A and B are shown apart, each in its own frame.
Chain A
Amino acid sequence: MFLQLVANGLVTGSVIAIGAVGVSIVYGILRLVNFAYGDFIAFGALAAYAFNGPLGVPLVFATALGMLATAVLALLLDRILWRPLRVRRAGFMSLFLASIGLALVLRQALLLAYGPQPHTYRVDQFKVYVVGSVRLSQAQFITIVTAAVVIVAIGLFLARTTLGRTMRALADDRALAAIAGVDVGRAIAFTWILSGLLAGIAGVLAGLAQSTFDPNFGFTLLLPIFAAVVLGGIGSAYGALAGGLTLGLAMEVSTWPSLFGGVDPTYKPVVAFVVLTAALLVRPQGLFGRARVV
Chain B
Amino acid sequence: MSALASGDFWAFVGVVAGIYTLLALGVQLQFGLTGLLNFGQVAFMAIGAYTMAILVVKEHLSTWLAAPLGVVVAGAAGLLLGLPSARLRADYFAIVTIAFSEIVRYVATNQDSLTGGSQGTIALGKVGVAAQYNGQWERFQARVQAWLHVGSKDVAMLVIVWSVAIVALTLVWLAVRTSWGRALRSIREDEDAAASLGKNVLAHKLQVLVIGSALAGLAGLFYAWQFSFFSPDDFQPLLTFFAWMIVILGGLGRVWAVPVGAAVFGFLFAGTRFLDFSPLSELDSAQRAYLRLIVIGLVIIGLVVFRPQGLLGRRDEMVLE
Contacts and interface: CB of A to CB of B under 8 A. Distances in A.
Interface of A: 33, 81, 84-85, 88, 90-94, 96-98, 100-105, 107-109, 111-112, 116, 223, 226-227, 229-230, 234, 264, 266-267, 269-270, 273, 276-277, 280-281, 284, 286, 292, 294
Nearest to A278: B84
Contact of B84 (A111, A269, A277): A277
Contacts of B88: 280, 284
Contacts of B287: 112
A101 B301 contact: yes
Contacts, number: 124
A84 to B, nearest CB: 7
B297 A111 contact: no
A33 B238 CA distance: 17
B203 interface: no
A115 to B, nearest CB: 8
Please report whether the interface of chain B is mostly helix, strand, loop or mixed according to DSSP: helix
B321 A105 contact: no
Interface in B213-248: 238, 241, 244, 248
Given A227-B95, A276-B96, A276-B99, A84 B305 contact: yes
A77 B139 CA distance: 53
A223 B99 contact: yes
B136 interface: no
B91 A234 contact: yes
Contact of A273 (B89, B94, B102, B248): B102
Contacts of B84: 277, 280-281
Nearest to B294: A108
A104 B99 contact: no
B102 A81 contact: no
B275 interface: no
A109 B294 contact: yes
Contact of A277 (B85, B91, B109): B85
Given A93-B37, A226-B98, 9 more contacts: A33-B91, A97-B304, A101-B300, A105-B293, A226-B95, A229-B95, A266-B109, A273-B96, A286-B92
Given A116-B286, A269-B102, A277-B85, A98 B110 contact: no
Contacts of B290: 108-109, 111-112
A264 B99 contact: no
A276 B87 CA distance: 15
16 contacts: A90-B308, A94-B304, A94-B308, A96-B94, A98-B300, A101-B297, A108-B297, A109-B290, A109-B294, A112-B294, A223-B98, A230-B95, A230-B96, A266-B109, A273-B102, A273-B103
A225 to B, nearest CB: 10
Interface residues of B, number: 43
Interface string B14-35: 0000000000000000000000
Contact of B293 (A81, A108, A264): A108
A69 B90 CA distance: 33
Interface of B: 37, 84-85, 87-92, 94-96, 98-100, 102-103, 106-107, 109-110, 192, 238, 241, 244, 248, 286-287, 290-291, 293-294, 296-301, 304-305, 308, 320-321
Given A85-B305, A281-B84, A90 B321 contact: yes
B321 A273 contact: no
Given A102-B297, A294-B192, A280 B85 contact: yes
B301 A234 contact: no
Contacts of A226: 95, 98-99
Nearest to B98: A223
Q: Closest 8 CB pairs between A and B?
A: A91-B321, A104-B297, A101-B300, A105-B297, A101-B301, A108-B290, A273-B99, A101-B297
B89 A104 contact: no
A90 B307 CA distance: 12
Given A93-B320, A276-B99, A292 B89 contact: yes
A107 B238 CA distance: 12
A222 to B, nearest CB: 9
A97 B91 contact: no
Nearest to B84: A281
Contacts of A266: 106, 109-110
Contacts of A108: 290-291, 293-294, 297
Nearest to A104: B297
- Which of A100, A103, A280 counts the most chain B CB atoms within 10 A? A100
